């Protein structure tokens, strides 16, 4: 799975290449990577302008003039600008200037469109560089009783996103 700095690099690279572009069409060749209806997603995306690209933990949120296209790269996912399609290309977004491909060899990543950010993205804790050590320690201490010694010891480590984003 790409680590936080790698996802940030993807966001910064995409920001330079596709912000301001309009999505003319979307095509999904592997529905496993898409959350929701392919036809509804294609209809919602067609004609939308890309306003910004933001990172929330390991989620890439492409903010549109109406709604969000949210991508999680999973273990092997890639967002490629103007690349040649490969046998691992599972989504193609035709832009007014260029293409954006989603490639994912293992198909663990996900793409989702919504009017708002998905709840699981909004529930993430603060970014690592936006929280002081004291605030982090306080958050951890407040949750310690509920986790019987902290997330790593309780078997509930999947809830660690509440402490820190990413």
Catalytically annotated residues: 2-3
Looking up tokens 């998905």, which residue turns up? Answer: 118
Q: Which residue has the tokens 């929280």?
A: 131
CA pseudo-torsion sign 120, 123, 128, 130: positive
CB 98 within 8 A of CB 129: no
Q: Do residues 13 and 61 lie in contact, with contact meaning Cβ atoms separated by under 8 Å?
A: no
Burial of 102 (0-12, 13-18, 19+ CB in 10 A): buried
Question: Distance between CA 38 and CA 19 in Å, rounded?
Answer: 23
């Amino acid at each position: 799975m790409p680590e936080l700095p790698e996802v940030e690099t993807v966001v910064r690279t995409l920001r330079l290449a596709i912000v301001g572009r309009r999505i003319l069409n979307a095509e999904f060749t592997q529905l496993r990577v898409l959350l929701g209806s392919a036809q509804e997603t294609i209809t919602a995306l067609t004609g939308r302008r890309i306003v910004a690209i933001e990172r929330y933990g390991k989620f890439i949120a492409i903010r549109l003039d109406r709604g969000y296209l949210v991508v999680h790269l999973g273990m092997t996912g890639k967002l490629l600008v103007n690349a040649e399609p490969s046998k691992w290309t599972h989504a193609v977004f035709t832009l007014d200037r260029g293409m954006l491909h989603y490639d994912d060899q293992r198909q663990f990543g996900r793409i989702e469109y919504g009017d708002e950010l998905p709840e699981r993205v909004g529930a993430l804790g603060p970014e690592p560089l936006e929280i002081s050590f004291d605030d982090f320690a306080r958050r951890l201490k407040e949750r310690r009783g509920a986790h019987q010694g902290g997330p790593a010891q309780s078997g509930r480590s999947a809830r660690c996103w509440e402490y820190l984003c990413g």
